[in-house]
Amino acid sequence: MKFPSPVSLSWLADFLGARLLGNTGASASGINEIHKVEKGDLVFVDHPKYYKKCLESAASFIIINQVVDCPPQKALLIVEQPFEAYQKIVKHFRPFEGATQSISPSASIGKTSYIYPNVFIGNHVQIGERCTIHPNVTIMDHCVIGDDVVIQAGTVIGSDAFYYNTNKNRESWYKRMLSCGRVLIEDDVEIGAGCTIDRGVSGDTVVGSGSRLDNMVHIGHDTVLGKNCLLAAQVAIAGAVEIGNGVILWGQVGISKTLSIGDNVVVLAQSGVGGTIEAGKIYFGSPAEDANVKKRELIWVKRIPELWKKVMDKPKA
Amino acid sequence: MKFPSPVSLSWLADFLGARLLGNTGASASGINEIHKVEKGDLVFVDHPKYYKKCLESAASFIIINQVVDCPPQKALLIVEQPFEAYQKIVKHFRPFEGATQSISPSASIGKTSYIYPNVFIGNHVQIGERCTIHPNVTIMDHCVIGDDVVIQAGTVIGSDAFYYNTNKNRESWYKRMLSCGRVLIEDDVEIGAGCTIDRGVSGDTVVGSGSRLDNMVHIGHDTVLGKNCLLAAQVAIAGAVEIGNGVILWGQVGISKTLSIGDNVVVLAQSGVGGTIEAGKIYFGSPAEDANVKKRELIWVKRIPELWKKVMDKPKA
Amino acid sequence: MKFPSPVSLSWLADFLGARLLGNTGASASGINEIHKVEKGDLVFVDHPKYYKKCLESAASFIIINQVVDCPPQKALLIVEQPFEAYQKIVKHFRPFEGATQSISPSASIGKTSYIYPNVFIGNHVQIGERCTIHPNVTIMDHCVIGDDVVIQAGTVIGSDAFYYNTNKNRESWYKRMLSCGRVLIEDDVEIGAGCTIDRGVSGDTVVGSGSRLDNMVHIGHDTVLGKNCLLAAQVAIAGAVEIGNGVILWGQVGISKTLSIGDNVVVLAQSGVGGTIEAGKIYFGSPAEDANVKKRELIWVKRIPELWKKVMDKPKA
């Protein structure tokens, strides 16, 4: 999330009750999670295991729960509970707005776009030209839809991320990290019925231009789908996945979180991808492997009885 | 389902045209299926295979299609078609009410809860305090939502059970057993977008406090989910499943009906659980097994060609 | 799609800028894709690989991009872009109508059917008697619902087909083939919550009488499901599949496109069917096989370590 205008670190330190070290005169342009940070951004870290990664990331300003050496040009905001500081900033800059009408007066909708009845369009949503939004679609606050986009009935754009701070010593183990990111649907995208696309936690979930989604496709927070991708029915993609251009995922494929899929990959139906996979190849299986390797394996399995017989038939030495 | 007040067996016998035997002066407090019966409940049975189980269950009163020995203190209601008797009772005590408004005037909604536009809330629904119900959500009659619950867009709470009386000698093979149960969402539960949670047939489907459901999760009738469970996208749980506390089901996991899953179980993505599984362990595969056993098995499969070669290379005796 | 009345080929040739050869005085009764054509229909073909199949199909009139021998009684309409000619015909005879109300005044709904609030019913939809349409359901234009049908909340009937003309030399690879077909739900069908059933591209998607669909079932375009079928939660069936009567698909089963499933087949949970399968048998696995064969295979896999030991223990010759 970018702030509406740069926010001075001294105001932030005061707002958070933080101790400010390093480049104390600077201003932050936004706040982001570690996967998505850019120069000028705030980031937060609350576990020594991740200190180094955060301090060395593109983020300029780090909300942290301990005094550490501050990298040059950067600044530290020291608080006891960095996660709570993050939540406080998000609540302040993205307050809950609710909705008094099905289509928010603050939404901007291209004159040539067609919105069916029973659609919900949240605050500050932008919809381009020549789009068709079918009945019972939900588009939550701040999402951006390009030109020539079709969204079929019952689909939800901009649901909150399934992303939790876990602590099993609390009565309630999972505390939602507030989502302040968006969904960006680029031009010329077609989305089927009954899909769900979560907003980024603090960055953007993106569906690239020319991509086609069948019904009941789920895309997690902060995932970036390339151009001209084809996703068949009931595909599920977890959070923070990077998918190249021209990728085809057949029906009921599942993609695990924070991995990469190269350009023009094809994943055959019902496969499960648990790790980063190379461009231009075909994958199959759960866990997914090179489809040819997997298919040979299926043939080998069929030969076990024959192998057993061979071993049993051999005379004892 | 509990009746609004105790119902005398003599009235019931008259209503159903039943012959009444045993403790004929008693009153029934409710009606339930065999998995869920309590003392004072009615239950029905129409196949000798299940007579013993029903007669010995906690149910006090048995609707049955044959005269059998009545256990002490209990009563029998003898009718030709026990299933039809059950349907008649449900229709009488839970008549179809329909809805003239999107939010029923008989629903009770906490003053601090926020209901977005385009939401449907049925008759006698109860919603606690500080809940957020997103657009295009459907909550059907009699469901109960606790405090601090989030239900994201397009989700359906309280759809009717997928539970049928089967008879292939009829033109229409599957006759729906009318649902008179509820869905109970405990406090501090978060449910993603596009989920469906069926009501109990005659008992309750329960989601325990602190649990988090991602998008497109399906939960069947009468299933009881414990506290602090985490269910990733596109998980499907069939009917009458008992799930402990702290259970994690990763993406696209399927759980078959009427089984139990112990506390703190983790089921890895795309696995299929077909039988009861022990607490505290990690499972993988379809059918699911201990994840370590399954992973070793995957490695063994890869060694078949090597094994084949070893056998082929051995000199003939 | 059938035209509202027969359309003369000479008018069509003029409308499309086509050269007309063969039985030039005839009239076309409709337009259909190759899987669904009947006598009197138009069909289109743009690749020599499919010329023969189209010319020899039941279609009477062929829109084609090359002069070929015209079969007797038939006619050819020669254009440069047959796909574009198809789109032009569909747009003309099924123009985009949109909707100004949630329930179209042109829809015909049986007096004894019950429509909950927040439902969308499109133009020219027909709904029979004694149906119940739950909240937040979407039924798009031209779909036909029989008598005694239940459609639970959030379900979408008549979404457009996921069916594209692919050309990777364009900036946008996938161009949607416009859907002008319908969904036909026969009498006495029950459909769960959150399902999606796509309309036929130019033919009909059919759900046979007595069939029962659990929640989150997806059915692709032009698929024909028989009578008394039972589809459990999260089943996905691709396009143009023929499914017999009395078929049971358990949870999360996936069925690939353009194949046939015989009567009374049972497919066990999470299986994936990639080819036509015989009537009356039970299937399991991804890819699905005869369930007994597959189960024996799972046992054989478990014996690999024992086999390995046997081979290793044998004395070297």
- Domain coordinates of chain C in residue numbers? 2-93, 108-294
Query: Which chain C residues are Cβ-neighbours of B252 within 8 angstroms?
Result: 252
What DSSP element (H or E) covers C68?
none
- Domain C2-93, second-level architecture: 3-Layer(aba) Sandwich (3.40)
Do domains C2-93 and C108-294 share one topology? The answer is no
Radius of gyration of chain C (CA): 24
Question: Any catalytic annotation for residue A124?
Answer: no
Measured CA distances, A63 to A86, B183, B222, C78, C143 (Å): 8, 42, 45, 69, 56
pLDDT at residue A314 is higher than 80:
no
Q: What is the mean pLDDT of residues A214-223?
A: 98
pLDDT in tens, chain C (317 residues): 999 999 999 999 999 999 999 999 999 999 998 888 999 999 999 999 999 999 999 999 999 999 999 999 999 999 999 999 999 999 999 999 999 999 999 999 999 999 999 999 999 999 999 999 999 999 999 999 999 999 999 999 999 999 999 999 999 999 999 999 999 999 999 999 999 999 999 899 999 999 999 999 999 999 999 999 999 999 999 999 999 999 999 999 999 999 999 999 999 999 999 999 999 999 999 999 999 999 999 999 999 999 999 888 866 55
- How many Å lie between the alpha carbon of C73 and the closest alpha carbon of chain A? 40
Q: Which amino acid is at C146?
A: G
pLDDT, tens only, A240-269: 999 999 999 999 999 999 999 999 999 999
Task: Determine contact, residues A149/A128, Cβ cutoff 8 Å.
Answer: yes
Provide the 3-class DSSP secondary structure of residue A12: helix
Give the Cα-Cα-Cα angle A144, A146, A151 (nearest 5 degrees).
Answer: 85
CA distance B280 to C196: 37
The CATH superfamily label for domain B108-294 reads Hexapeptide repeat proteins (2.160.10.10)
Question: Contacts of residue C313 in chain A, CB cutoff 8 Å?
Answer: none
Is the sign of the CA dihedral B78, B82, B84, B88 positive or negative? positive
Please give the distance of CA C291 from its chain centroid, rounded to a whole number.
Answer: 27
Pairwise CB contact (< 8 Å): C118 & B138: yes
Q: Across the interface, which of C154, C270, C298 has its CB nearest the CB of B156?
A: C154
First to last CA, chain C: 74
CB contact under 8 A, B159 and C153: yes
Q: How confident is the model at residue A315 (pLDDT cuts 50, 70, 90)?
A: low
pLDDT band per the 50, 70, 90 thresholds, residue A33: confident
Q: Are B154 and A136 a contacting pair at CB < 8 A?
A: yes
Q: Confirm whether pTM is higher than 0.90.
A: yes
Give the three-state DSSP class for B308. helix
Q: What is the DSSP pairing of strand A254-255 with strand A236-237? A: parallel
Q: Distance between CA B245 and CA C164 in Å, rounded?
A: 46
Collect all residues with Cβ–Cβ distance below 8 Å to A234 and sequence separation of at least 6: A215, A216, A217, A251, A252, B234, C218, C234, C236, C254
Cβ partners under 8 Å of residue B104, min gap 6: B121, B122, B123, B124, B125, B141
Q: Is A159 in contact with A119 (CB distance < 8 Å)?
A: no
Residue B273, both tokens: 């659980």
Q: pLDDT of A77-93, one tens digit each?
A: 999 999 999 999 999 99
Task: For residue B301, give how far its alpha carbon lies from the nearest alpha carbon of chain C (Å).
Answer: 7
Q: How far is CA C52 from CA A105, C47, C64, C75, C165, in A?
A: 56, 10, 11, 14, 20
Write the CB contacts of B80 (distance below 8 Å, at least 6 apart in sequence): B65
When pLDDT is averaged across residues B27-50 and rounded to a whole number, the result is 92
Pairing verdict, β B212-213 and B174-176 = unpaired
The answer to whether the beta carbons of residues C128 and C147 sit under 8 Å apart is yes
Residue B81 burial (C-beta neighbours within 10 Å; 0-12, 13-18, 19+)? middle
CB-based contact B154:A156 (threshold 8 Å): yes
C36 — alpha (psi -120 to 50), left (phi > 0) or beta?
alpha
Kindly state the DSSP code that residue B122 receives in the 8-state scheme.
-
Residue A172 and residue B214: Cβ atoms within 8 Å? no
Residue C144: helix, strand or coil by DSSP?
strand
CA A282 from chain center: how many Å? 24
Is B169 buried (19+), middle (13-18) or exposed (0-12) by CB count in 10 A?
A: exposed
Interior angle at CA B160, CA B156 and CA B164, nearest 5 = 145
Among B198, B270, B301, the residue with its CB nearest the CB of C304 is B301
How many beta-carbon pairs under 8 angstroms link B with C?
Answer: 146
Whether residue C120 and residue A153 make contact (CB cut-off 8 A), yes or no, is yes
What's the pLDDT tens digit per position in B64-104? 999 999 999 999 999 999 999 999 999 999 999 999 999 99
Helices (H), chain B: 9-16, 48-55, 82-93, 291-302, 304-313
Contacts of B195 in chain C (CB under 8 A): 194
Tokens 């012959």 belong to residue: B19
DSSP state, B203? S
Tokens (6 digits) for C219 = 């059915």
> Which among B190, B301, B302 has the least Cβ separation from residue A176?
B190
Closest approach of C101 to chain B, Cα-based (Å): 15
Q: CA–CA separation, C298 vs B298, rounded Å?
A: 12
C130: buried, middle or exposed (CB in 10 Å: 19+, 13-18, 0-12)? middle
